[in-house]
C-alpha cells in the first residue's frame, strides 16, 4: 500500500488526530503535527520519533490562514513538499439552542467548517505542486442524523459538520483537475476526550447505545485512523467525494 510521503494533520495533538498521526508515521509517512496545543503536539511528535518515525510540530490555528501557510512552508523546507492533508481539528460546546450564543456558534463553525476550508485551500496548493495527492476530512455521523439524549442537541455542531460533508463533495470536484482526491470519514461514538472520555467509556453509556450499535462496543481512535489511512492510500485511488461512516453500524438503523 502506497501512502502520501508527507501528510499535514490538523488537530494532531490529541484524540483522533493524534491516532491518525501515529498511524501514518508508523506506515512511513513524515507527519506535520499541526495544532494550537503545542505541548501535546510536541508529545505526539516525541512518540513518533521515539518509534523511529519522522514528524515536526507546528503551532496552527485553523481559523488563521497565516499560521497554516507558515506551517506548510516549514513542512516543505523540512520534507520537500506536502502530498496529503487530514483535517482533524474540531470542537463542540454542549449548549442548547436557547442558551447558544453567537460567540459559541462562531467558534464551532469557524473551527470545524471554515478551518477545514482554509486548511484545504492553503495546503492543496502544496499538494498540487507535488503532482497531486489526497485530502481526508473528519466529519461525524451527526452530519447525517441528530443525536439527542438529553432533550437538546448541539445545533451549531450539526450545522458545521453537515457543512463538512458537502464541502468534501465540492472540494472533490474543485480539486480533481489537480489530481487531488477529497474524502471524509464520519465517526460514530469514539473513546476520546472530545466530550468526556470517562462518560463515553462508562458501561451505562454502552448500554444506552446498544440499540444503535450493530457492533457492540465504543469505537477507538485507531478505528478512524485505519479508515483515514485507506482513503489516503493508493488502495482508494478510484474513490473521491465520499462521506464514509465508521460508526459500528450506527447509521444503519
Percent of the chain topping pLDDT 70: 94
Q: What is the pLDDT of residue 128?
A: 98
Domains and CATH numbers, the chain: 6-244 (3.40.50.720)
Q: Is the pLDDT of residue 31 over 60?
A: yes
What cell does 250 get?
450506527
Looking at per-residue confidence, does 204 or 249 come out higher? 249
pLDDT, mean of residues 99-109: 96
Q: How do residues 36-60 score in pLDDT, each as one tens digit?
A: 999 999 999 999 999 999 999 999 9
Query: Are 84 and 135 a contacting pair, CB within 8 Å?
Result: yes
Catalytic annotation present for 38? no
Q: Which of 157, 183, 192, 223 is catalytic?
A: 157
Looking at per-residue confidence, does 160 or 194 come out higher? 160
Q: How do residues 132-185 score in pLDDT, each as one tens digit?
A: 999 999 999 999 988 766 666 789 999 999 999 999 999 999 999 999 999 999
Q: Residue 200: CB partners within 8 Å, gap ≥ 6?
A: 189, 190, 191, 192, 218
pTM of this structure:
0.94
pLDDT, mean of residues 122-129: 98
Q: What is the pLDDT of residue 127?
A: 98
Amino acid at each position: 500500500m502506497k501512502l502520501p510521503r508527507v501528510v499535514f494533520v490538523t488537530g494532531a495533538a490529541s484524540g483522533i488526530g493524534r491516532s491518525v498521526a501515529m498511524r501514518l508515521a508508523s506506515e512511513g509517512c513524515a507527519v506535520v503535527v499541526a495544532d494550537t496545543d503545542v505541548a501535546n503536539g510536541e508529545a505526539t511528535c516525541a512518540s513518533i520519533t521515539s518509534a523511529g518515525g519522522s514528524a515536526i510540530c507546528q503551532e496552527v490555528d485553523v481559523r488563521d490562514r497565516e499560521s497554516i501557510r507558515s506551517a506548510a512552508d516549514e513542512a516543505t523546507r523540512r520534507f520537500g513538499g506536502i502530498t496529503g492533508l487530514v483535517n482533524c481539528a474540531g470542537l463542540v460546546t454542549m449548549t442548547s439552542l436557547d442558551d447558544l450564543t453567537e460567540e459559541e456558534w462562531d467558534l464551532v463553525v469557524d473551527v470545524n467548517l471554515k478551518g477545514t476550508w482554509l486548511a484545504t485551500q492553503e495546503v492543496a496548493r502544496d499538494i498540487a505542486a507535488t503532482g497531486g495527492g489526497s485530502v481526508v476530512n473528519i466529519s461525524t455521523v451527526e452530519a447525517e442524523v441528530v443525536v439527542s439524549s438529553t432533550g437538546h442537541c448541539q445545533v451549531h455542531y450539526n450545522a458545521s459538520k453537515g457543512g463538512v460533508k458537502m464541502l468534501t463533495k465540492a472540494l472533490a470536484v474543485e480539486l480533481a483537475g489537480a489530481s487531488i482526491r477529497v474524502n471524509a470519514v464520519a465517526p460514530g461514538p469514539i473513546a476520546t476526550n472530545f466530550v468526556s472520555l470517562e462518560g463515553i467509556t462508562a458501561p451505562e453509556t454502552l448500554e444506552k447505545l446498544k440499540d444503535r450499535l450493530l457492533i457492540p462496543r465504543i469505537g477507538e481512535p485507531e478505528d478512524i485512523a485505519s479508515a483515514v489511512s485507506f482513503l489516503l492510500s493508493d488502495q482508494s485511488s478510484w474513490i473521491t467525494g465520499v462521506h464514509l461512516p465508521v460508526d459500528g453500524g450506527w447509521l444503519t438503523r
